[in-house]
């Protein structure tokens, strides 16, 4: 099984979102050893909050061979493009760690340290929906890789 982790700040508070997360995690287990880690959001003014969150995130990202920040300014990929990107990482045997920042995003210093950045959309979505949308797109990419009917 291919190791993939999602590191997310904050908790899913809405039950429908928690249910959807369970749904996609259950389906992803057929393709990947998927782990979601919820991290507490930082406290204080925005600069302090982002630094605190970056300090929590760095060791977890360092544990993966490929760390990816999910940011609005990251590279946009369609579902097929994400599948191709995943295949390239899988062929290199890279474990993946995706990070979804808090509502204030990521510390600018962390963004400079982690060159691999991906965008879910140019639009802005609530944090909880972004998390579900990412899991759905990850599942869709794995079904594309395996030639399953879900994608159609």
What are the pLDDT tens digits along the chain (152 aa)? Answer: 889 999 999 999 999 999 999 999 999 999 999 999 999 999 999 999 999 999 999 999 999 999 999 999 999 999 999 999 999 999 999 999 999 999 899 999 999 999 999 999 999 999 899 999 999 999 999 999 999 987 55
- Of 101, 84, 95, nearest to 141 by C-alpha is 84
pLDDT recorded at residue 1: 81
41 φ, ψ (degrees, to nearest 5): -70, 150
Distance CA 107, CA 128 (A): 20
pLDDT recorded at residue 152: 59
Rounded to 5°, the CA angle 98-144-66 comes to: 25
pTM of the entire predicted model = 0.94
The full set of domains in the chain, from first to last, is: 2-151 (3.40.1280.10)
pLDDT in tens, 24-67: 999 999 999 999 999 999 999 999 999 999 999 999 999 999 99
Distance CA 128, CA 13 (A): 8
Collect all residues with Cβ–Cβ distance below 8 Å to 17 and sequence separation of at least 6.
128, 129, 131, 132
Q: Which two tokens stand for residue 132?
A: 């579900």
């Amino acid at each position: 099984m291919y190791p993939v982790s999602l590191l997310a700040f904050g908790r899913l508070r809405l039950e429908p979102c928690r249910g959807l997360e369970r749904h996609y995690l259950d389906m992803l287990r057929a393709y990947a050893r998927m782990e979601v880690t919820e991290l507490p959001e930082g406290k204080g003014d925005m600069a302090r909050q982002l630094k605190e969150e970056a300090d929590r995130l760095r060791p977890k990202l360092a544990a993966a061979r490929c760390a990816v920040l999910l940011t609005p300014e990251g590279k946009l990929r369609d579902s097929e493009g994400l599948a191709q990107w995943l295949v390239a990482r899988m062929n290199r045997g890279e474990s993946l760690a995706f990070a979804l920042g808090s509502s204030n995003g990521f510390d600018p210093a962390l963004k400079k340290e982690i060159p691999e950045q991906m965008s879910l959309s140019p639009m802005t979505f609530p944090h909880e929906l972004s998390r579900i949308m990412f899991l759905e797109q990850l599942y869709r990419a794995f079904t594309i890789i395996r030639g399953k009917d879900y994608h159609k």
